[in-house]
A and B are shown apart, each in its own frame.
Chain A
Amino acid sequence: MSRRDDDDLLAPLRAQKPPRPRGDESGRFVSEVMRQVALRPTPARAPPPRRRALWFSVSTIFASSAVAAALLLGPRAPIAPRTTATPPAVAAAPAGTVRVRLTLRAPDARAVAIAGEHNGWAQTDCRRADDGTWTVELAVAPGRYRYSFIVDGAFIGDPAAALAADDDFGGKDAILVV
């Protein structure tokens, strides 16, 4: 079966019309919702737009140093404590960018790639070393980016990342701060 065939695998389910809500014909569904809504307190007014808190900026600065250091040292290396110096570049990076190296140890994986906000979630293949470590080097502008390793098609985040966030799919994206 080809990928094209996969595209329409669910056509039989799509063709099945779902049932209508109970009491829809008589408007009972809508009335029941409105009856429940009438019992609810008035929703709180929308708060004014929030200004970015200072603590966030400060923590980002610290996280940036720590994560960048961790990334440059590799996933098994401890995060350098209270590092504040700009990490050395792995290789010459284009102007305005920092080159970072991300590594993942996955000796049994057949293919490892990385996708993230740094490049619009396009996949970049990682290179495998003899010891089962997969590596990719990225040139990214300073900022904060979600990313995930993709091991044999599965998005796994990055087990070595110091920062992570829910990916809304029950998993975690790692966060790279440069």
Chain B
Amino acid sequence: MHAIQAVQRGDRAPFRLLVERYHRRVHALVYRLVRNPADADDLAQQAFVNAFDAISDFRLEMRFSAWLYRIAINLAKDHLKSKKRGEEQLGEHDEGVAAESALFCGAYESPDVAPEQAQRARLLQQALATLSWADRTVLVLKDIEELPYEEIKQIVGSPVTALKIRVVRARARLRRALEAQAGEGAL
């Protein structure tokens, strides 16, 4: 908290403490959303730069990580939108493929994961990519990052009860997407 106040007073050196503390978490979150390590690097860096520029807007009653996550999520959203738009303009892909390629171009796979698990994770990622941005975001925050609802509330700005409803419904939609995938595979 002292570091934030010092930066707000115009001392930029303590900002390093904030970057050191949060950069892995921000990077992991962005990576979960864009699924491209290089893009995650750029977006996570940009999130910190944007946070520095806007630090005077930060209110100490908020959780800093939630504020930072919100900046990072908005950047990831804009990035995927512009990437998809660019691919549509090139005319190389239809919408579905564009969305999928945005998620899998340069995708990273953890070396310790068994092939079946990796395949399962790929299918899940494909199903996740068919959901709306809002559904995908709440599922990444709740079911992958395992953040408490109170923190997600600060990140996305929705009340906890509404979030709980959204999470339940997003999980159901994910399950239906997986079932549809399995149906297509059986054809």
Contacts and interface: CB of A to CB of B under 8 A. Distances in A.
Interface of A: 1, 3, 5-10, 12-22, 24, 29-30, 32-34, 36-38, 40, 42-47, 115, 117, 120-123, 150, 153, 155, 167-171
A153 B53 CA distance: 38
Contact of A169 (B40, B113, B134, B172): B134
> How big is chain B's contact interface, by range?
35 or more
B171 interface: yes
Contact of B133 (A20, A121, A169): A169
A122 B161 contact: yes
Q: Which 4 A-B pairs have the closest CB atoms?
A: A169-B134, A121-B161, A6-B171, A121-B162
Mostly, the B contact residues are: helix
A109 B28 CA distance: 39
Contact of A22 (B8, B41, B146): B41
Interface centre among A1, A10, A24, A123 (most CB of B within 10 A): A10
B45 A32 contact: yes
B132 interface: yes
Contacts of A45: 8-10, 56
A132 B129 CA distance: 34
Contacts of B12: 37-38, 42
Contacts of A19: 31, 37, 40, 108
Nearest to A153: B169
Contacts of B137: 169
Contacts, number: 153
A3 to B, nearest CB: 7
A113 B149 CA distance: 22
B92 interface: no
B97 interface: no
Mostly, the A contact residues are: loop
11 contacts: A3-B172, A7-B143, A9-B174, A12-B120, A14-B146, A29-B27, A42-B10, A45-B9, A121-B158, A121-B162, A122-B161
A45 B54 CA distance: 10
Nearest to A37: B52
A18 B15 contact: no
Interface in B15-61: 15-16, 19-20, 23-24, 27-28, 31-32, 37-38, 40-41, 44-45, 48-49, 52-57
Given A36-B45, A122-B161, A167-B158, A18 B31 contact: yes
B37 A22 contact: yes
A37 B37 CA distance: 22
Given A43-B7, A169-B133, A171-B134, A13 B121 contact: yes
A20 B55 contact: no
Contacts of B55: 43
Contacts of B144: 10, 13-14
Given A10-B139, A12-B117, A13-B144, A21 B172 contact: no
B174 A6 contact: yes
B124 interface: yes
A119 B19 CA distance: 39
Contacts of B45: 29, 32-33, 36
Contact of B175 (A9, A17, A150): A9
